[in-house]
């Protein structure tokens, strides 16, 4: 099968070899054969490659055929005139070729699809005017001057350069069409360039004697042009020239800018060359072409400005959109929320409801993508976004603000009686609706979601605070069985403040905003206060006094728990030493985190703190939870063994809430158990809680462990624990946590009150 390369090389060699043949029948016949191969190549290429619109190639083949007929007539009937004039019969076929070739090129342009803008048309018009000016100055005008009064002959002579300009215009138009610059286009461009060069030189020979003698050397150029056209048809990329163009954004390329610049300076360059050569200048031709170019360039600049504006708007739109879901992204949602809190959001007159901010989180989304793949994960995100839009209705803003988190701003919430009910109801409705199965292309998937809601009150003017409160509600929702939560004052003091305070904790330590409170621990058998538990508090400048649940997790996540524990330990021991100096002999208990047990420097830090304050290890109790000792049992036993060997008392805090057993804890050097308040609070009216506490006390006593009951709220509970022979107790019913300087007064009141409650002898003040 003949390839385009073989045909191009063979045809070009044959075209050049024509020069070696002597003038006459053999040379003319060989010339005609090469011309016919171009036509045949076009037919073969169309049938082989099957372009979308074959008419274009057949028209171009017809044009080349007309040229071939003209060549045959010119070769064999050089004197064949029309009507007694010097007009040759061959001129009719030569001139008829230009419309056929131009029409074929135009069909290629049109078959690319509907016009998407005037850019290509304006650019091709600018190039064509410049080419027309060159043709007029250097070909048409000299031909008119040399031709005298022979009107018909002059019209024919002028038609050739005009036909070349027409082909050039169609070529530029094709080259500037979207995505058409490929090998076939390059071959066509080379062919048309060869035709224009050969025609121009032939035309110039009519008024330039120096060129007239070398006209025969132009034959290979015309033949190479035919061969190039046939090679373009044989090349497989010719199919793309008539395929519908993809919808691509218009771009200004450097090469096109350079070409347009060259076209604009064509007139001045022509005049400058004529002035340097000392020949008459073509002022009017340059002026007329310059005016046309000015209009076209003005239109091009206007279009360029409009294009830049559209592209800038498109970039702004893309910057505000999430790629996967097509929804607004976090930046856009923040802008809309800022507009809402500043008064830009719509609110119905007299509407008692408020704008609602909702955060929707897809839970265990990473597990879904790991199982089903990221493509299904993207489909899930897109489907959830669509469903949110359908559920929230028109006017609502839905955005994807995290990997698997959506934010919703509802401008017209349901009117309800009672603040917060509307937001919470809407959150519940969204959760139930989103957990309905999603029908994707390949699979049906159900997702689990948590929804946090916040009513955007008119007094809330800080969008960052509004987003934080919605995030607080979402964090609370993840900890609740219903998976929904509404932001209210009850959330402000919980652990859900961690997202806000996590960045302020280090500064709070340095500023002294972290304070230590102390809650007394009472020996039930005597009513004596024997020790205290050190409890950290944060005196926050905005949120007031915060409990440890608000920031301990933040300290663990940021790696500050070691520094934080060391601060509390040092403060507690310093206060303990001060009490002892005042005559108040107490032990002090400090809580440890699971990360503290993994710290290789914990034992040395504890010993250094004791030495710093001149205290014996026996005054210190370190509390750890059941789970913390089980994270790394081997490491935990080593650390706890070293601490116990020093003389530090070790205790298990919140016993009963973990998954350990006394049999396992017996392997650890602990001396004390603290029963969680959730069991102690129910011993008076819950038989199960009472049985748990009683059995724990009895078993711990047999194992040689002391038991402290937490959460004692009243004397009845204290007496019940006494009857169970529980060793010690602490709780609000005995004494609330207070700063160190206030503790002696609390101890005094306990010692004054409890002996009569427990029916034991009066004790001293713990001295």
- Compute the average pLDDT of residues 593-597: 80
Say whether pLDDT at 228 is over 50: yes
pLDDT band at 346 (very low <50, low <70, confident <90, very high): very low
The pLDDT of residue 349: 36
Q: Which of 139-143, 235-239, 698-702 has the lowest mean pLDDT?
A: 139-143
pLDDT at 86 over 50: no
**pLDDT tens per residue, range 92-151:** 888 899 999 989 888 888 776 655 557 767 777 887 888 888 888 877 777 777 655 566
For 245-296, what is each residue's pLDDT tens digit? 666 555 556 777 787 788 788 888 888 887 887 878 888 888 888 888 888 8
CB–CB of 297/232 below 8 Å?
no
pLDDT digit string, tens, across residues 704-752:
889 999 999 999 999 999 999 999 999 999 999 999 999 999 999 999 9
Q: Return the higher-pLDDT residue of 375 and 649.
A: 649
- What pLDDT score does 517 carry? 95
Please, what is the average pLDDT of the chain? 82
Residue 314 has pLDDT above 70, yes or no: yes
Angle, helix 633-646 to helix 602-612, in steps of 10 degrees: 20
Distance in angstroms (rounded) separating the CA atoms of residues 650 and 69: 111
Q: Please identify, in words, the CATH class of the domain defined by 330-491.
A: alpha beta
Q: Do domains 330-491 and 500-758 have the same CATH topology?
A: no
Q: What is the pLDDT of residues 493-517, one digit of tens each?
A: 444 455 556 667 788 888 888 999 9
- pLDDT range class, residue 611, cuts 50, 70, 90: very high
The more confidently predicted of residues 259 and 337 is 337
The beta-carbon contacts of 658-664 under 8 Å, at least 24 apart in sequence, are 658/625, 658/626, 658/627, 658/630, 659/626, 659/627, 659/630, 660/626, 660/627, 660/629, 660/630, 662/696, 662/699, 662/700, 662/703, 664/630
Which range among 75-84, 481-490, 597-606 has the greatest average pLDDT? 597-606
pLDDT of residue 124: 76
Q: Which residues contact 174 (CB under 8 A, 6 or more apart)?
A: 105, 108, 109, 180, 185, 188, 241
Which of the residue ranges 135-139, 167-171, 541-545 has the most confident prediction, judged by mean pLDDT? Answer: 167-171
Residue 662: its pLDDT value, please? 57
pTM of the model: 0.47
Domain boundaries, the chain: 1-112+179-187+218-245, 118-176+256-319, 330-491, 500-758
pLDDT value at 536 more than 90: yes
Sheet bearing 405-410, strands edge to edge: 397-400, 405-410, 355-363, 448-456, 484-486
Comparing CA positions, the residue from 242, 236, 233 lying closest to residue 61 is 233
The pLDDT of residue 582 is 92
| pLDDT of amino acid 30 | 87
- pLDDT for res 682: 85
Supply 108's token pair.
């290629």
Give the mean model confidence (pLDDT) for residues 309-332. Answer: 82
Task: Give per-residue pLDDT as tens, 432-476.
Answer: 888 888 888 777 888 889 998 888 766 566 777 778 778 878 877
Q: Please report which confidence band the pLDDT of residue 88 belongs to, taking 50, 70 and 90 as the band edges.
A: low
pLDDT tens-digit readout, 5-59: 999 999 999 988 888 888 778 888 888 898 999 999 999 999 999 998 899 999 9
Tell me if the domain spanning 500-758 has CATH number 3.20.20.450. yes
pLDDT tens readout for residues 684-694: 988 888 998 99
pLDDT tens across 371-391, in order?
888 888 888 899 999 988 888
């Amino acid at each position: 099968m003949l390839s385009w390369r073989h045909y191009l090389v063979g045809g070009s060699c044959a075209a050049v070899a024509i020069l070696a043949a002597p003038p006459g029948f053999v040379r003319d016949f060989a010339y005609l054969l090469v011309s016919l191969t171009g036509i045949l190549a076009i037919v073969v290429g169309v049938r082989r490659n099957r372009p979308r619109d074959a008419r274009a190639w057949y028209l171009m083949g017809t044009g080349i055929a007309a040229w071939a007929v003209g060549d045959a007539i010119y070769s064999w009937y050089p004197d064949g005139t029309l009507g007694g004039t010097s007009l040759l019969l061959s001129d009719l076929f030569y001139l008829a070729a230009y419309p056929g070739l131009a029409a074929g090129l135009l069909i290629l342009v049109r078959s690319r699809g509907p016009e998407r803008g005037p850019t290509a048309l304006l650019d091709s018009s600018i190039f064509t005017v410049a080419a027309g000016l060159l043709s007029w100055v250097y070909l048409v005008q000299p031909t008119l001057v040399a031709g005298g009064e022979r009107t018909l002959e002059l019209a024919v002579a002028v038609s050739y350069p005009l036909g070349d300009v027409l082909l050039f215009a169609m070529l530029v138009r094709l080259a500037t069409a979207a995505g058409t610059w490929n090998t076939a286009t390059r071959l066509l461009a080379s062919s048309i360039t060869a035709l224009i060069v050969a025609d121009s030189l032939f035309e110039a020979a009519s008024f330039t004697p120096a060129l007239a003698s070398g006209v025969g050397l132009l034959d290979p150029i015309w033949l190479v042009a035919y061969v190039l056209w046939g090679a373009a048809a044989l090349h497989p990329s010719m199919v793309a020239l008539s395929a519908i163009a993809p919808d691509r954004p218009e771009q200004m390329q450097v090469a096109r800018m350079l070409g347009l610049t060259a076209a604009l300076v064509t007139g001045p360059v022509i005049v400058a060359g004529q002035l340097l050569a000392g020949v008459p200048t073509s002022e009017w031709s340059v002026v007329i072409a310059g005016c046309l170019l000015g209009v076209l360039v003005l239109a091009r600049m206007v279009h360029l400005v409009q294009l830049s504006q559209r592209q800038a708007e498109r970039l702004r739109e893309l910057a505000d959109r999430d790629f996967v879901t097509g929804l607004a992204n976090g930046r856009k949602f923040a802008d809309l929320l800022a507009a809402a809190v500043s008064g830009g959001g719509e609110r119905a007159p007299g509407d008692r409801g408020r704008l609602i901010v909702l955060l929707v989180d897809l839970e265990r989304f990473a597990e879904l993508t790991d199982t089903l793949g990221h493509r299904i994960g993207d489909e899930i995100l897109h489907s959830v976004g669509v469903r949110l839009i359908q559920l929230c209705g028109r006017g609502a803003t839905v955005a994807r603000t995290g990997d698997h988190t959506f934010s919703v701003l509802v401008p017209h919430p349901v009117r309800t009686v009672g603040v917060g009910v509307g937001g919470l109801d809407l959150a519940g409705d969204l959760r139930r609706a989103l957990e309905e199965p999603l029908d994707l292309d390949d699979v049906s998937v159900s997702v689990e979601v948590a929804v946090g809601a916040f009513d955007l009150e008119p007094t809330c003017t800080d969008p960052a605070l509004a987003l934080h409160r919605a995030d607080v509600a979402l964090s609370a929702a993840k900890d609740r069985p219903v998976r929904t939560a509404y932001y209210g004052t009850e959330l402000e003091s919980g652990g859900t403040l961690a997202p806000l305070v996590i960045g302020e904790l280090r500064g709070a330590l340095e500023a002294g905003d972290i304070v230590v409170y102390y809650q007394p621990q009472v020996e039930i058998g005597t009513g004596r206060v024997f020790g205290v538990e050190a409890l950290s508090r944060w005196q926050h400048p905005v949120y007031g006094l915060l409990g440890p649940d608000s920031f301990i997790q933040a300290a663990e996540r940021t790696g500050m728990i070691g520094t934080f524990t060391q601060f509390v330990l040092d403060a507690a021991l310093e206060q303990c030493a001060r009490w002892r100096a005042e005559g108040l002999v107490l032990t002090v208990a400090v809580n440890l985190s699971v990360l503290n047990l993994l710290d290789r420097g914990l034992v040395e830090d504890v010993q250094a703190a004791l030495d710093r304050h001149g205290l014996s290890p026996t005054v210190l109790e370190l509390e750890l939870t059941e789970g913390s000792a089980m994270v790394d049992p081997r490491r935990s036993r080593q650390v706890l063994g070293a601490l116990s060997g020093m003389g530090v008392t070790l205790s298990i805090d919140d016993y009963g809430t973990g998954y350990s057993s006394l049999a396992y804890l017996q392997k650890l050097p602990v001396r004390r158990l603290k029963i969680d308040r959730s069991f102690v609070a129910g011993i008076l009216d819950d038989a199960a809680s009472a049985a748990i506490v009683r059995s724990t006390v009895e078993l711990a006593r047999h194992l040689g462990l002391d038991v402290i009951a937490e959460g004692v709220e009243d004397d009845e509970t204290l007496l019940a624990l006494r009857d169970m022979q529980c060793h010690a107790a602490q709780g609000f019913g005995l004494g609330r946590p207070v700063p160190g300087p206030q503790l002696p007064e609390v101890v005094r009141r306990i010692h004054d009150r409890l002996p009569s409650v427990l029916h034991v002898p009066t004790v001293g003040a713990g001295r």
